[in-house]
Amino acid sequence: MAFTPQFLDELRGRSSLSDVIGKRVRLIKKGREWHGLCPFHKEKTPSFTVNEDKAFYHCFGCGAHGSIFDFVMNTEGLSFPETVERLALDAGMPVPRDTPEERQRAAQYQGLQDVTEAACQWFQRALHMPEGKACLDYLRGRGITDEILAKFRLGFAPDTRNALKTALANKDIPEDLMVETGMLIRPPEDRADRTPYDRFRGRLMFPIMDRRGRVIAFGGRTLIDDKAKYLNSPETPIFHKGQVLYGLDQALASARKSGHLILAEGYMDVIALQMAGFDEAVAPLGTALTEQHLAMMWRVAPEPVLCFDGDEAGQRAALRAAERALPLLKSGYGLRFAELPKDEDPDTLIAKQGKAAMREILDQALPLSEVLWRMECGGAVPATPEGRAALQHRLGEHTKRIEDPTMRGHFTTTFKERIWQAGRAARPGQSGGMDILQPHQVSSQSSPQRRQLEILLVTLISYPQLYDDVSERLGALDFTKAGQRLDNLRQEVLKTLAGQSGLDFNGLTDHLRVSEFSVELDTVMGEDVLIDASFARPDGELSNALNGWDHTYQLMSEKTLDLEIKAAQAQLAENYTEENWNRLQVLKTQNRVIDAE
């Protein structure tokens, strides 16, 4: 079975080499590469590397080397056609069959691409003809050099109805092919004269390339004040605008080397960014960011920066992109958003303030979580419980859309913690309004870990009804670093509630004082502790107390696990053994469980 180069190239682009190999080999990320134990020979020290950027694997021990197709064939014993079918199924791509129809379709693709290439060459020549002088002067006035003209293959479409049509006809290109590529427009059937005419007239021409640098479509910019400032090629068999990023063919090498990618809004933004040294710049083609765009960017860089214009339309585009990305987020991948000054775009900003100003804005790009936070509350949190509950609900609606459980857990925890901290800052008796969010501060000299243990314990004292829900977890926590007296109080509370069901707050505290725990009780029930956890006050709602207890416990567990995971990662890097690897996986699994909860 034969496959076209176009199909195989798209399949490689949609498939992740590290994901495919990671199903059989335990891979650890080191810099731009992944490392693991070679699956083709026995070894104790990892010498097997996977380079996603260069799309190959290599073992320095046995010399095994190849592409994603080679790996599947060699590990699963499949033929090349079977391997292609397997990968295409995983990538959600239909497999073309070696039929006369498919061969005709491949020949058609090549024929259409020949038309767009011929048109591009003609537009380039027209730019340097007398009719292109005004367009060339415009480009020179914007600092476009001959090198940039050649790099992006900029051209000019003369303001006539048949100039391109005549030029292509002289190359024996059929009129129907010109129409099919979108170079000509055929009037509708209800017109008396259905003679096709040039689509692009009197415009600066931007050739649109695929990943391999082949011309597949065009964008044209008018040089006069026109409502239709930009005009793009229509959808054709070789051009689907939701699956193409302008400038990606130019940006790939630099982006893979640096691990960065910048998404701007338009053609001139990409050119201005690359002229200023930001070679990793690309742009969508006059359409909203699609799932395919996001997948393409993430295969090149784990956290692309979206740099939309500073006007209202640009901000709406940024919010749409944020919402579109949520279901697709997964561990290790995200988005950042650069905030441009009002009514500026990368092109105008660089022209006015220089590349240093652009670099500063890119360096300060906000993560996706912060964009959602500001979208819902503007960086401030309502002072009332009702307002905070509404905010938490709105943010919760966003996090529900994240399908990856680990990523969803971190977003949920982050938002809840920020709202919770803001709630602690709202003192009793305050009037309504907005409290600007401040960094978390423990209100006494107690360490953060001790304060969290105190909060867990005082919540149970205030609400003994929670015993069945929290006792097992509270009993398993390490209280030794918080001091023996607090640990003794914890043990007495658990022992008392285990032996006397039905105790309320007053009954439990009376018992603790009779049992000579008055000092310890007064400490944990003091105002400084309750300020940090208003849900633990005994005059509140039981459901709020349970939610607050669960959230505090989750925060403690995450911080403890984070420290253990970092230690396990360091140990694994120093001594790569099966035992160390397994310990790290166990810890990560525990972390995922906590995130899901």
| pLDDT, tens digit (0-9, with 9 covering 90-100), for 217-261 | 999 999 876 556 889 999 998 898 888 999 998 898 888 778 899
pLDDT of residue 440: 33
| pLDDT, tens digit (0-9, with 9 covering 90-100), for 265-313 | 889 999 999 999 999 999 998 778 888 899 889 888 889 999 988 878 8
Same-domain status, 266 and 367: yes
Q: What is the DSSP letter of 130?
A: G
CATH assignment of the domain containing 557:
1.10.860.10
Say if CB 322 and CB 335 are below 8 A apart: yes
Same-domain status, 223 and 281: no
Q: What confidence category does residue 166 fall into, taking pLDDT thresholds of 50, 70 and 90? A: very high
340 within domain boundaries: yes
Same-domain status, 166 and 207: yes
Q: How far is CA 537 from the centre of its chain?
A: 40
Of the two residues 32 and 507, the one the predictor is more confident about is 507
442 within domain boundaries: no
Same-domain status, 473 and 535: yes
pLDDT of residue 592: 60
pLDDT of residue 436: 34
pLDDT of residue 432: 38
CATH assignment of the domain containing 270:
3.40.1360.10
Q: Mean pLDDT over residues 444-455, rounded?
A: 73
CB neighbours of 280 closer than 8 A, spacing ≥ 6?
Answer: 251, 254, 255, 258, 260, 261, 262, 301
Same-domain status, 86 and 105: no
Of the two residues 164 and 540, the one the predictor is more confident about is 164
- Indicate if the pLDDT at residue 128 is higher than 50: yes
Same-domain status, 417 and 549: no
Say if CB 110 and CB 237 are below 8 A apart: no
**φ/ψ of residue 239, rounded to 5:** -135, 120
136 within domain boundaries: yes
597 within domain boundaries: no
Q: Mean pLDDT over residues 425-430, rounded?
A: 49
Say if CB 79 and CB 73 are below 8 A apart: yes
Say if CB 506 and CB 463 are below 8 A apart: no
Same-domain status, 452 and 562: yes
| pLDDT, tens digit (0-9, with 9 covering 90-100), for 78-91 | 888 888 888 888 77
Q: Mean pLDDT over residues 322-341, rounded?
A: 90
Q: Mean pLDDT over residues 143-151, rounded?
A: 93
pLDDT of residue 205: 97
Q: What confidence category does residue 134 fall into, taking pLDDT thresholds of 50, 70 and 90? A: very high
Q: What is the DSSP letter of 262?
A: E
Q: Classify strands 366-367 and 56-59 as parallel, antiparallel or unpaired.
A: unpaired
pLDDT of residue 564: 66
Three-state secondary structure call for residue 363? helix
Q: Which of 359, 358, 319, 365 is nearest to 339 (CA)?
A: 365
Cα 43 from Cα 45, distance rounded (Å): 6
CA dihedral 549, 553, 556, 561 (to 10 degrees): -170
Q: Of 34-48, 419-433, 479-493, which has the strongest mean pLDDT?
A: 34-48
Q: What confidence category does residue 1 fall into, taking pLDDT thresholds of 50, 70 and 90? A: low
Cα 433 from Cα 415, distance rounded (Å): 20
CATH assignment of the domain containing 173:
3.90.980.10
- Indicate if the pLDDT at residue 590 is higher than 60: no
Same-domain status, 367 and 383: no
pLDDT of residue 596: 53
DSSP string covering 452-473: HHHHHHHHHHH-GGGHHHHHHH
pLDDT of residue 146: 93
| pLDDT, tens digit (0-9, with 9 covering 90-100), for 174-206 | 999 999 999 999 998 888 788 999 999 999 999
Q: What is the DSSP letter of 96?
A: P
pLDDT of residue 206: 97
Average pLDDT, the chain: 84
Q: What confidence category does residue 367 fall into, taking pLDDT thresholds of 50, 70 and 90? A: very high
Query: 490-501: buried (b, 16+ CB within 10 Å) or exposed (e) per residue?
Result: bebbbebbeeee
Q: What confidence category does residue 547 fall into, taking pLDDT thresholds of 50, 70 and 90? A: confident
23 within domain boundaries: yes
Q: Which of 276, 169, 595 is nearest to 409 (CA)?
A: 595
Q: Please say which residue of 389, 415, 436 terminates a domain.
A: 436
Q: Of 329-333, 452-456, 563-567, which has the strongest mean pLDDT?
A: 452-456
Q: Please say which residue of 239, 256, 281 terminates a domain.
A: 239
Q: Of 1-10, 249-258, 444-453, 559-568, which has the strongest mean pLDDT?
A: 249-258
- Indicate if the pLDDT at residue 447 is higher than 80: no
Cα 117 from Cα 110, distance rounded (Å): 10
121 within domain boundaries: yes
pLDDT of residue 562: 66
Of the two residues 344 and 94, the one the predictor is more confident about is 344
Cα 342 from Cα 345, distance rounded (Å): 9
pLDDT of residue 431: 38
pLDDT of residue 433: 38
| pLDDT, tens digit (0-9, with 9 covering 90-100), for 62-73 | 999 999 999 998
pLDDT of residue 563: 66
Q: Mean pLDDT over residues 497-526, rounded?
A: 85
Q: What confidence category does residue 586 fall into, taking pLDDT thresholds of 50, 70 and 90? A: low
Same-domain status, 212 and 317: no
pLDDT of residue 357: 93
443 within domain boundaries: no
Q: What is the DSSP letter of 171?
A: T
pLDDT of residue 245: 94
Domain of residue 564: give its range: 448-591
Same-domain status, 47 and 28: yes
CB neighbours of 274 closer than 8 A, spacing ≥ 6?
Answer: 148, 151, 247, 250, 251, 281
Q: Mean pLDDT over residues 434-441, rounded?
A: 33
Q: Which of 503, 520, 491, 492 is nearest to 464 (CA)?
A: 503
Q: Please say which residue of 371, 403, 427 terminates a domain.
A: 371
Of the two residues 561 and 273, the one the predictor is more confident about is 273
Three-state secondary structure call for residue 239? strand
541 within domain boundaries: yes
Q: How far is residue 122 from each of residues 44, 154, 158, measured CA to CA in Å? A: 60, 11, 11
- Indicate if the pLDDT at residue 130 is higher than 90: yes
CB neighbours of 403 closer than 8 A, spacing ≥ 6?
Answer: 327, 328, 329
Cα 69 from Cα 85, distance rounded (Å): 11
Of the two residues 45 and 168, the one the predictor is more confident about is 168
Same-domain status, 502 and 587: yes
* Predicted model pTM: 0.61
Number of domain units in the chain: 5
pLDDT of residue 104: 63
pLDDT of residue 543: 85
Same-domain status, 471 and 583: yes
- Indicate if the pLDDT at residue 441 is higher than 50: no
Say if CB 449 and CB 460 are below 8 A apart: no
Of the two residues 77 and 402, the one the predictor is more confident about is 402
